[in-house]
A and B are shown apart, each in its own frame.
Chain A
Amino acid sequence: MSNKVTLTIDGIQVTVNEGTTILDAARKLNIHIPTLCYHEDLCVAGNCRVCVVEQENSRALPPSCAMPVSEGMVIHTNSGKVRVARKHIVELLLSEHNADCTKCYKNGNCELQSLASQMLTGDHMFLDLVPEKKYSIDMFNSALIKDDSRCIRCQRCVRTCEELQSVSALGVAYRGNHMKISTFFEHPLFEVVCTNCGQCVNRCPTGALIERNYVDPVWDAIYDPKKHVVVQTAPAVRIALGEALGMPPGMIVTGKMVTALKRLGFDAVLDTDFSADLTIIEEGHELLDRLKRTLVDKDPEVALPMATSCSPGWVKFLEHTFPELLPNLSTCKSPQQMFGALTKTYYAKKKKLDPKNVVSVSIMPCTAKKFEADRPEMRSSGYKDVDYVLTTRELAIMITQAGLEFDKLPDDHFDSIMGTSTGAAVIFGSTGGVMEAALRTVYEVVTGREIPFEHLNIMPVRGTEGEVREASVKISKTKPEFRFLEGVELKCVVANGLAYAKQVMQNVKDGKANYHFIEIMACPGGCLGGGGQPIPTNKEIRTKRKEAIYREDMGMPLRKSHDNPEVQEIYQEFLIKPLGHKSHELLHTHYTPRKRY
């Protein structure tokens, strides 16, 4: 039990636990002190000073985000002194900021902008410092754009990159008036360890860090009569898209999303969940193959544990941080890239389309997917497998542009082919989902029986934020061809957020872990907390999205990837068998060791 502290905020007494900040104590009273550098997911910086309050008998105004409460404290959150100081601070930020709002991608969703309008800063108290600053824009990256002229130096991005992701691609450079957020020797983002995860974008209060958007090229493709535009939607989009269109977090909007996409003019609205199921088949068999070659053939070349490769932020992280462990990464492409490769081969063939006229668009909760689609290895169809990657946010922009009243749209179904999926694919959107989906299939392939968990819910592998989750599944009574797995305890580990991924892989590297199968998602909570998801994203919102994902899984008639009829069909008609020749050609890839800075 922690000690209680009683204090007075704006004349109201409140009792809170010792160690609570003034900011949190005020929120308990429904008093919202404005903040900028503060973010629920990050450590407290206390550097923007917007949240200052007046404390009686104290000369200075303490920052409410960083100041713990103390007994008998008397706080005023909106006194004359506070109002003047706060307005000064916002004015100062604006004077250094390229406040050309109508040209900004974040116009309308900018924390500085709303604060400025709240405080009526229209009278421009101070000199405009922007003309003299030599601000630069880094737009050489396929996923992210960093515009220093919009930066307010709150360091949310720096803290995100370091604390949540242990990547530290972004840091603070220079001092005083020259202080800026920069990279290793100010190299462009594409030349440093940045994984494109976009967590910084998701937390940037202004337009300083944004995704490279492809809204206009996608419209162009849609309006081009010669083009057949196929769109795929990732599992985590359908449980978050509503948020960007005015709905509360945790709503499943799959049907409305499909309707919207059809109305936008896409020629076929398909589902990444289909290729997620396909991924499970390929990845599951790859795991079994690796296990067999290790246990039966004693092949020293085979790398175990095997790690999932669905999360492109994670893949690039491994390429930079543990290049020696790349053989441990599953060679399976991510569902997005499998889908892309099949769109311009299998799908085009079935629909009698010339693949050069097929434009493949994906809607992803992710910014790293943009980089992934641009990888030179992702052209196995002979064309760029995925032409444009849009984030959940970009799709919301298109829907708004088209004037669709999203919450009133009727539900519709995905088109066919490549539009059918199972619950196993849906849970790809949450940490632990790929592991659970893989286990549902692998166990059944090996034993011929369903995995013995109530309702197929493998709770032990359902990851949570802020931890590395280990679990094991004992395999018994195998089918004859999998006798080598009899009695084997399949050891699994699930981690989300690259800081935790680093822990897991360091243990693997040091030989301290004896896992068989590792699932890593680059973002906190998995794809549902992806860098391309609606802003804001915080723990509370991620929890609601997660509940929605598992609700969606439970509501699906099919729950196991190998039950997906379209997946069965593609193996019969096109791929022939998992890990077969066609699979290797289209669905598997290789990786590139990269430098560590």
Chain B
Amino acid sequence: MSESKLRRVDLIFGEYSSAKYKVLEETLKRSNEDILVDLRESNLRGRGGAGFPTGTKWKLAADAPGKEKYVICNADEGEPGTFKDREILTRVPRKVLSGMAICGRVIGAKKGIIYLRGEYKFLLPELNREIEQYNDFMAKLGFEFPIEIKLGSGAYICGEESALFESLEGYRGEPRNKPPYPTTHGYMGKPTVINNVETFVNVVMIMRLGPIQFKLLGTSDSRGSKVFSVSGDTPIPGIYELELGMPLDRFVEEFGDGDTKAVQVGGASGFCVPRKKFTETVIGFEGVPTGGSMMLFNSSRSMYNVLHNYLVFFEEESCGQCTPCRVGCQQLRKGILAVKKGDKNSHYLDQLIKLAESMKITAKCGLGQSVGNSFSSIVQNFREEMIY
């Protein structure tokens, strides 16, 4: 075992207080303004992948008019190669509930909902027990913020926030037009903060450590740590909490099997980084952002197969509502197949890249907009593998 070069962090999973809900109790003694100042000062950005500044999101929801507001924890974790939220909910559910309760207080919400991925149903008994304890604690504290769990049914698209609201409301999971945004028109059309599981935990840690200490981790654009789901051709797959802003070459050095030819950062909707770009690539919002998924591929893998696999996934998981995503995904998959089979010549790949670029700027939601990420990065970097 060589010595680790990457800094391991133990913010998310670590013990942080002796007494249960100590941080929550302490935080609730502070004013909303105070909490928001710390949150914005910390530069925390959402951990779901898009990286919207959490403090700003909360502030917008807090300022939104209306008495009925909601806090929603997005635990739909559908991105291929991502499995860190499951781990967080298993190991530190209390931190998640605390983060939601703090948010509830700050924005003036009366209710919190965890939208749990359907496949994570097995987490329910334990989570419900935890919620019961949480409720008892809140009752003692005299602060009412009930949290309930609602299960998804396995649609990737329902991890998109507005599709998630539709699903929660009992409708077909289809993304909505934005604007208006969730902070003013979210669940049930009411002001809503929706954050990733990990984001809520980060909030609790910022409350505990203070923004200054939180900011010691990471880079100026990407503060704090991140829980990574490492999979693929690696001898040590699993969940790792690492500092944000790390260079990819060091990551590969540590997690690769010595023959890594590409890393897919951010799952199927993320970017594929080829070996020649490992040194110049930083994992973080200033470089290649990720919701946590890091998939390593060694030279035995066909990047054509990897891409085809992703496109089959998108083709089926698109809600089908908007043209660029519904038809675009089909064209991209069938298009690379046609090139592979020789039905279309290699120039057709350039047409497909243009199409993927159009999808990025015209699709209705993040799903359709990000198909082009993996498509273009794989086709551009592994063009020969697409053709021969």
Residues of A within 8 A of B (CB): 44-50, 52, 59-61, 63, 66-68, 81, 84-85, 88-89, 92-93, 95-96, 125-127, 129, 152-153, 155, 172, 174-179
Q: A44-B177, A172-B320, A179-B320 are in contact. Are A49 and B326 (CB under 8 A)?
A: no
* CB-defined contacts of B362 to chain A, threshold 8 Å: 49, 52, 60-61, 85, 88-89
A50 and B327 CA atoms in complex are apart in Å by: 13
B358 touches A85 (CB 8 A): yes
Q: Fill in one digit per residue for B93-135: 1 if any A CB lies within 8 Å of its CB, else 0.
A: 0000000000000000000000000000000000000000000
Nearest 8 pairs of A and B residues by beta carbon: A179-B320, A92-B327, A176-B318, A66-B177, A88-B358, A46-B177, A85-B358, A176-B316
Q: A59-B361, A93-B327, A125-B351 are in contact. Are A48 and B316 (CB under 8 A)?
A: no
Task: Quote the shortest CB–CB distance from A197 to chain B (angstroms).
Answer: 23
Looking at A44, A127, A152, A174, which has the most chain B CB atoms within 10 Å of its CB? A127
B327 touches A95 (CB 8 A): yes
A177 touches B318 (CB 8 A): yes
Which residue of chain B is the closest to A133 with respect to CB atoms?
B330
A20 and B211 CA atoms in complex are apart in Å by: 41
B329 touches A176 (CB 8 A): yes
Q: Decide yes or no whether B237 CB sits under 8 A from chain A.
A: no
Which residue of chain A is the closest to B172 with respect to CB atoms?
A172
A63 and B331 CA atoms in complex are apart in Å by: 22
Task: Quote the shortest CB–CB distance from A176 to chain B (angstroms).
Answer: 4
Q: Decide yes or no whether B41 CB sits under 8 A from chain A.
A: no
A175 and B50 CA atoms in complex are apart in Å by: 24
A44 and B334 CA atoms in complex are apart in Å by: 31
Q: A85-B358, A129-B334, A153-B320 are in contact. Are A176 and B327 (CB under 8 A)?
A: no
* CB-defined contacts of B331 to chain A, threshold 8 Å: 92, 95, 126-127, 129
In B152-183, the 8 Å CB interface with A consists of 155, 157, 172, 174, 177, 179
B334 touches A178 (CB 8 A): no
Pairs A–B under 8 Å by Cβ, sample size 7: A49-B363, A85-B358, A92-B327, A126-B351, A153-B326, A176-B326, A179-B326
Contact among B315, B321, B363 with A177 in the assembled complex (CB-CB below 8 Å): B315
A68 touches B364 (CB 8 A): no
* CB-defined contacts of A95 to chain B, threshold 8 Å: 327, 331
* CB-defined contacts of B316 to chain A, threshold 8 Å: 175-178
* CB-defined contacts of B364 to chain A, threshold 8 Å: 46-47, 49, 63
B322 touches A49 (CB 8 A): yes
* CB-defined contacts of A153 to chain B, threshold 8 Å: 320-321, 323, 326
Q: Decide yes or no whether B49 CB sits under 8 A from chain A.
A: no
* CB-defined contacts of A92 to chain B, threshold 8 Å: 323-324, 327-328, 331, 355
Task: Quote the shortest CB–CB distance from B271 to chain A (angstroms).
Answer: 16
Q: Fill in one digit per residue for B282-326: 1 if any A CB lies within 8 Å of its CB, else 0.
A: 000000000000000000000000000000001111111111101
Task: Quote the shortest CB–CB distance from A105 to chain B (angstroms).
Answer: 23
Task: Quote the shortest CB–CB distance from A132 to chain B (angstroms).
Answer: 8
Q: A126-B335, A127-B334, A127-B338 are in contact. Are A176 and B319 (CB under 8 A)?
A: yes
Q: Decide yes or no whether B369 CB sits under 8 A from chain A.
A: yes
Looking at B317, B321, B328, which has the most chain A CB atoms within 10 Å of its CB? B321
B361 touches A85 (CB 8 A): yes
Q: Decide yes or no whether B354 CB sits under 8 A from chain A.
A: yes
B321 touches A84 (CB 8 A): no
- Chain A at the B interface: SS class: loop
A522 and B321 CA atoms in complex are apart in Å by: 28
* Further contacts, 12 of them, CB under 8 A, given A67-B179, A179-B320: A48-B322, A49-B364, A60-B360, A89-B323, A89-B362, A93-B323, A95-B327, A96-B330, A127-B335, A176-B317, A177-B315, A177-B326
Contact among A45, A47, A81, A177 with B329 in the assembled complex (CB-CB below 8 Å): A177
Task: Quote the shortest CB–CB distance from B125 to chain A (angstroms).
Answer: 30
In B218-272, the 8 Å CB interface with A consists of none
* CB-defined contacts of B177 to chain A, threshold 8 Å: 44, 46, 63, 66-67
A63 and B177 CA atoms in complex are apart in Å by: 9
B358 touches A84 (CB 8 A): yes
A176 touches B338 (CB 8 A): no
Contact among B320, B323, B344 with A48 in the assembled complex (CB-CB below 8 Å): B323
* CB-defined contacts of A66 to chain B, threshold 8 Å: 177
Task: Quote the shortest CB–CB distance from A82 to chain B (angstroms).
Answer: 9
A48 and B321 CA atoms in complex are apart in Å by: 8
A127 and B334 CA atoms in complex are apart in Å by: 8
B324 touches A49 (CB 8 A): yes
Which residue of chain A is the closest to B328 with respect to CB atoms?
A92
A175 touches B323 (CB 8 A): no
Q: A44-B177, A127-B338, A172-B172 are in contact. Are A49 and B323 (CB under 8 A)?
A: yes
A12 and B354 CA atoms in complex are apart in Å by: 30
A126 and B343 CA atoms in complex are apart in Å by: 12
Which residue of chain A is the closest to B356 with respect to CB atoms?
A88
Which residue of chain A is the closest to B316 with respect to CB atoms?
A176
Looking at A96, A125, A126, A153, which has the most chain B CB atoms within 10 Å of its CB? A126
* CB-defined contacts of B323 to chain A, threshold 8 Å: 47-50, 89, 92-93, 152-153
Task: Quote the shortest CB–CB distance from A471 to chain B (angstroms).
Answer: 35
Q: A63-B177, A176-B317 are in contact. Are A47 and B322 (CB under 8 A)?
A: yes
B361 touches A81 (CB 8 A): yes
B326 touches A60 (CB 8 A): no
A48 and B324 CA atoms in complex are apart in Å by: 8
* CB-defined contacts of A61 to chain B, threshold 8 Å: 361-362
A467 and B326 CA atoms in complex are apart in Å by: 37
* CB-defined contacts of A178 to chain B, threshold 8 Å: 316, 320
* CB-defined contacts of B326 to chain A, threshold 8 Å: 96, 153, 176-177, 179
Which residue of chain A is the closest to B313 with respect to CB atoms?
A176
Which residue of chain B is the closest to A92 with respect to CB atoms?
B327
A310 and B236 CA atoms in complex are apart in Å by: 75
Q: A66-B177, A175-B318, A177-B318 are in contact. Are A60 and B361 (CB under 8 A)?
A: yes
* CB-defined contacts of B329 to chain A, threshold 8 Å: 176-177
B334 touches A89 (CB 8 A): no
Q: A176-B316, A177-B315, A177-B316 are in contact. Are A84 and B354 (CB under 8 A)?
A: yes
Contact among A88, A126, A177 with B320 in the assembled complex (CB-CB below 8 Å): A177
A96 and B320 CA atoms in complex are apart in Å by: 12
* CB-defined contacts of B358 to chain A, threshold 8 Å: 84-85, 88-89
Task: Quote the shortest CB–CB distance from B58 to chain A (angstroms).
Answer: 23
A215 and B18 CA atoms in complex are apart in Å by: 83
A48 and B320 CA atoms in complex are apart in Å by: 10
In B62-109, the 8 Å CB interface with A consists of none
Task: Quote the shortest CB–CB distance from B334 to chain A (angstroms).
Answer: 5
Q: A47-B323, A66-B177, A92-B323 are in contact. Are A177 and B361 (CB under 8 A)?
A: no
A88 touches B322 (CB 8 A): no
Task: Quote the shortest CB–CB distance from B297 to chain A (angstroms).
Answer: 25
A421 and B362 CA atoms in complex are apart in Å by: 55
A47 and B322 CA atoms in complex are apart in Å by: 4
Task: Quote the shortest CB–CB distance from B324 to chain A (angstroms).
Answer: 6
* CB-defined contacts of B354 to chain A, threshold 8 Å: 84, 88
Contact among A45, A59, A88, A129 with B324 in the assembled complex (CB-CB below 8 Å): A88
Task: Quote the shortest CB–CB distance from B44 to chain A (angstroms).
Answer: 23
* CB-defined contacts of A45 to chain B, threshold 8 Å: 321
A88 and B355 CA atoms in complex are apart in Å by: 7
B179 touches A68 (CB 8 A): yes
A46 and B177 CA atoms in complex are apart in Å by: 7
A155 and B362 CA atoms in complex are apart in Å by: 18
